[in-house]
Structure 1
Amino acid sequence: MHTVAVLALDQVIPFDLTAAIDTFGWTRLPDGSEPYRVRVCAPTAEVTAAAGAFTVRAHHGLDALTEAGTVIVPGVADPRIPPAPEVTRALRTAAANGTRIASICVGAFALAATGLLNGLRATTHWTAARALAETYPEVAVDPNVLYVDNGQFLTSAGAAAAMDMCLHMIRRDHGSAVAAQTARMCVMPLEREGGQAQFIPHALPAAPAGATLEPLLAWLEDQCARDLTLDEIASRAGMSTRTLNRRFREQTGTTPLQWLHRTRVRRAQYLLENTTHPVEHIATRTGFGSPTAFRDRFRKVVGTSPQAYRRAFRGAH
């Protein structure tokens, strides 16, 4: 079982703390077993949550970080205060052992203080991005993304983005089906666009519950392997193409053909992760018509080639 150590420092932000605990805690494998053991760790037996909301009692000390496969560093109320030397040492020791370390929101400050992010791209909450860049100039701060995956070290923006990051790690560890089930248990989309194009799939824009386009979207998903035209989609909807485009933008934020392309890409991602079908076969099954068109569209949406994507995610199964 993979141990996830959530590091609670004094004045920890409650939402950051629970985002990590809940996401990994809800994860189940197809046989119902729990792949993650979540432990709350702290330098002292108790720490106070931000704004004095409550007191966190930690059953594990900093030594548990070296035994974990993943360490999560939530944010604190005042990230400008550097972590205690023993916290920095514990994080560096865990990193030297190959432990995966991820920060949530302004937890990036504590992670940056260790020097582990030097020379790497990282993110944090947009309101703190300038301060992070000024305090740690060796870190390439990108305030425009939800999260960044550097392999061993990951950083995320706010707590909601942290759940996207956690789902991304679960997907890396156990594949898309397990991550999707975890997302359903957390009542959230599987993943939003993270910003690191190589490995972050783009989420499909969803219509609001009860939206008039819901039946059409269901039909499009069933028909996505076909070479549909905008005229055919409009005919199915009983609208003009102009009205259809307007309704689509109102309810999903995108156009019918863009929505269809993203549906196809997501199906292709699933097949790349869970089958050994050649790219040519996947191109046909997902309605791209030709391998060349498939590769071009996949790279535009995901940011990398189908083969590179498969290498990244097939190894996690």
Structure 2
Amino acid sequence: MPDSVWNDVMRTVSDMLAFAVADGMLHFELTAVYEVFAAPQLDYEVVVCGDAPVRVGRFTVEPDLPLGDLARASTVVVPSVADVDAPIDLELVQAVRAAHEAGARIVSLCTGAFVLAEAGLLDGLRATTHWAHAEVMARRYPLVEVDSDVLYVDNGQVLTSAGKAAAIDLSLHLIRCDHGAAVANTAARRLVVPPHRDGGQAQFVLAPVPSGEGHPLTELFDWVSGRLDQVITVEDLARQVNVSSRHLARLFRAVTGTTPLQWLHAQRIRRAQELLERTDDSVDQIAEASGMGTATTLRRHFHRTVGVPPDTYRRTFRPAGGG
């Protein structure tokens, strides 16, 4: 359903916002987002739907209504599941699917997207989940276009968010859609969070050097780490481990899942992130130290890879008072 049509429909349905719960869910997103929507300044009738008391993290939650009542809600929120490898509760999947068919807006938080995917609600759609589980989701549900770089995705009737704090981002987006920017901004101030965060998940994803012994590239990784401020070619890398460039490419693909140049680029970005977080060095100095050459080159590649400019990244991740 197109967004414009869906928004018109939303104005005519009830304001019941229902959390769909089952055993094996995590409590952070459930409780945090519950508090967002349960604020007395908003008009949502917030309920929890489940067929029995359920274990959510270390807590037991007593549902207000059975899962079958999800179909009465205007919005259904599916919290994150603790174990994406465990079987997903079939009754939960069926209830969420029935609510979607009844016209409810379906929202997943973090790994709750696996429930939506299992219900077939994400087939042919772009969706997100926590970056650490995005590859698993893409492999398990090939009809879903999994985007691990964004904080949330709004497809109109179906919305998905990334991990933890991104659930708050999506909640504020929903409030903005339902009640306008002023109300959403007020809710954000109450939560002491920005109404909108720049960038996506990429700024929170590290590109670590594979650790441990047992593969022929271990010494090469250490060699590169000490020379990121220098020009390094694929031929330099191949020469260092005494193999051909073609064989080096095969080794890199097997160990890192990428090419030598792509891996080297990721390490330069990682070094720039570290320096932005831990030092007062200028962007020009960091560009030189990370092997990016100029501030212009660093800004272009950093923004493209991480999703925000270096200065924005530093403001976000630099500890108060300096390094």
User: TM-score band, normalised by the shorter chain?
Assistant: 0.5 to 0.7
Partner of 1:23: 36
1:41 maps to 2:49: yes
Cα offsets for 1:225-245 (capped at 9, x unmatched): xxxxxxxxxxxxxxxxxxxxx
In the alignment, which of 97, 101, 124 is matched to residue 102 of structure 2? 97
1:142 maps to 2:147: yes
Partner of 1:9: 22
Number of residue pairs the alignment of both structures matches: 194
Distance 1:102 1:48 in 2: 21
What are structure 1's unaligned runs of at least 5 residues? 29-33, 196-247, 254-317
1:179 maps to 2:192: no
Distance 1:95 1:249 in 2: 38
Cα offsets for 1:41-63 (capped at 9, x unmatched): 11x3211122xx11111121112
- SS for the counterpart of 1:116 is coil
Change (3 A) 1:181 1:27: farther
* One-letter identity of the residue aligned with 1:5: A
Distance 2:70 2:38 in 1: 18
Distance 1:155 1:8 in 2: 16
Distance 1:154 1:37 in 2: 19
- SS for the counterpart of 2:124 is coil
Distance 1:90 1:16 in 2: 20
Change (3 A) 1:250 1:149: closer
Change (3 A) 1:174 1:89: same
- SS for the counterpart of 2:110 is coil
Contact 1:26 1:186 in 2 (8 A): no
After TM superposition, the structure 1 = structure 2 runs for residues 113-262 of structure 1, keeping only pairs within 5 Å, are 113-193=118-198, 252=315
* One-letter identity of the residue aligned with 2:125: L
Offset of residue 82 of structure 1: 3.5
After the TM superposition, list the runs of 4 or more consecutive aligned residues in structure 1 that deviate by more than 3 angstroms.
248-253
Partner of 1:277: none
Distance 1:96 1:12 in 2: 24
Distance 2:188 2:92 in 1: 31
Distance 1:74 1:129 in 2: 16
Distance 2:61 2:134 in 1: 27
Distance 1:118 1:149 in 2: 14
Change (3 A) 1:126 1:250: closer
Identity of aligned residues (%): 48
Bigger CA drift: 119-128 or 80-89?
80-89
Change (3 A) 1:252 1:58: same
Name the TM-score, length of structure 1 as normaliser: 0.58
Offset of residue 18 of structure 1: 1.1
Change (3 A) 1:96 1:172: same
Cα offsets for 1:209-233 (capped at 9, x unmatched): xxxxxxxxxxxxxxxxxxxxxxxxx
* One-letter identity of the residue aligned with 1:19: A
1:87 maps to 2:92: yes
Cα offsets for 1:96-121 (capped at 9, x unmatched): 12110010011010110000100000
Name the TM-score, length of structure 2 as normaliser: 0.57
Which structure has more relative contact order (CA 8 Å, sep 6+)? It is 1
